[in-house]
């Protein structure tokens, strides 16, 4: 059987294996968490690369790139990881983040699921999801970007006009010299409430779930009436949001076996079905395959009220 393997720096408690029939092909989709161990990560990459049934490998819990405008900046550690894989294509979800995610923001607005033109949006990290950030900036009433807050633990919210030049200056240095583990929570996420003022300010909280979860405010009214736009949530995560009072959960990737998959997993599936390597794919080709699968729609779940 053809396999898709996502290797994650995150906790093994979120591991899964799902068999799915897609466009006449049966795929086994697997996530393997290494709980923050880089040694185990490299070992898992080697095993997946050597497995003749594996068609593509997803990098989970780590970004290969951060984006600034149209520029990609590769993390040094991710470059080492990819260099160890000789035979299989490796993706980190960047292809979906620059094609599907901005498309879905506009679709949510057009179909009236959410009126961004009346909404204040907290985007926890734009450089992680530049396509979504740009689309929100184009549609939302007001958008604040939390790259310094959630990525570097600096209590400085950024408007778009400051984010762009600052990202162009800092991102090349960050990806080249700052260890990824300093920026992004790996292993089991520990919730440490922070930046409650900005969670309260926002009507929509968007971006990477790990960042959103790490600083999530406590209390049954903490997210009352708010929409969460993210991906890679489990049923446990959904219950956490419900307990905080969130009104609406929108995920950008499909729900299979009770969870939404990470963008790296879905990108690995898409390039496998397309029969192409990621560098050969255009944004439109990603959308074409996703549309054929019926995965070009957001998943919308009403949580409270």
- Which residue ranges make up each domain of the chain? 2-94+261-299, 100-254
Which neighbouring-strand residues pair with 158?
A: 145
pLDDT of residue 174: 93
Q: What is the dihedral of CA 262, 1, 293, 96, to 10 degrees?
A: 30
Q: What is the pLDDT of residue 122?
A: 99
Q: What's the rounded Cα separation, in Å, for the pair 51 and 5? A: 10
The CATH class, in words, for 100-254 is: alpha beta
Phi, psi dihedrals of residue 85, rounded to the nearest 5°:
-95, 120
- Radius of gyration of the CA atoms of the chain, in A: 18
Per-residue pLDDT of the chain (305 residues; tens, 9 = 90+): 899 999 999 889 888 899 999 999 999 999 999 998 999 999 999 999 999 999 999 999 899 999 888 789 999 999 999 999 999 999 999 999 999 999 999 999 999 999 999 999 999 999 999 999 999 999 999 999 999 999 999 999 999 999 999 999 999 999 999 888 888 766 566 788 999 999 999 999 999 999 999 999 999 999 999 999 998 888 899 999 999 999 999 999 887 766 668 899 999 999 999 999 999 999 999 999 999 999 999 999 999 87
> What gap in Å lies between CA 129 and CA 119, rounded to an integer?
19
Q: Which of 232, 296, 238, 229 is nearest to 261 (CA)?
A: 232
* pLDDT at residue 189, as a whole number: 65
What is the pLDDT at residue 54? 98
Tokens of 173: 């240095």
pLDDT at residue 191 in the model: 82
Helix, strand or coil, per DSSP, at residue 260: strand
């Amino acid at each position: 059987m053809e396999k898709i393997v996502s290797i994650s720096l995150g906790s093994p408690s979120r591991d899964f294996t799902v068999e799915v029939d897609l466009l006449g092909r049966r795929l086994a989709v697997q996530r393997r968490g290494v709980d923050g161990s880089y040694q185990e990560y490299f070992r898992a990459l080697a095993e997946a690369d050597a497995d003749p049934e594996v068609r593509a490998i997803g990098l989970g819990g780590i970004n290969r790139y951060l984006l600034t405008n149209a520029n990609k900046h590769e993390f040094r550690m991710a470059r080492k990881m990819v260099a160890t894989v000789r035979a299989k294509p490796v993706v980190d979800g960047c292809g979906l983040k620059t094609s599907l995610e901005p498309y879905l923001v506009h679709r949510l607005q057009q179909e009236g699921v959410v009126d961004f033109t009346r909404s204040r949006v907290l985007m926890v990290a734009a450089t992680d999801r530049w396509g979504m950030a740009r689309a929100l900036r184009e549609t939302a009433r007001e958008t604040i970007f939390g790259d310094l807050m959630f990525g570097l633990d600096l209590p400085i919210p950024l408007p778009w006009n400051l984010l762009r030049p600052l990202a162009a200056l800092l991102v090349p240095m960050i990806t080249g010299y700052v260890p990824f583990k300093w920026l992004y929570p790996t292993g089991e996420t520990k919730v440490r409430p922070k930046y409650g003022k900005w969670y309260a300010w926002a009507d929509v909280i968007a971006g990477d779930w790990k960042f959103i979860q790490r600083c999530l405010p406590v209390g049954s009214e903490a997210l009352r009436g708010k929409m969460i736009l993210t991906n890679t949530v489990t049923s446990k995560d959904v219950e956490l949001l419900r307990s905080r009072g969130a009104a609406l959960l929108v995920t950008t990737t499909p729900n299979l076996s009770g969870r939404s998959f990470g963008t790296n997993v879905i990108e690995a599936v898409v390039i496998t079905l397309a029969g192409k390597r990621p560098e050969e794919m255009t944004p439109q080709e990603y959308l074409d395959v996703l549309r054929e699968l019926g995965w070009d729609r957001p998943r919308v779940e009403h949580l409270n009220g």
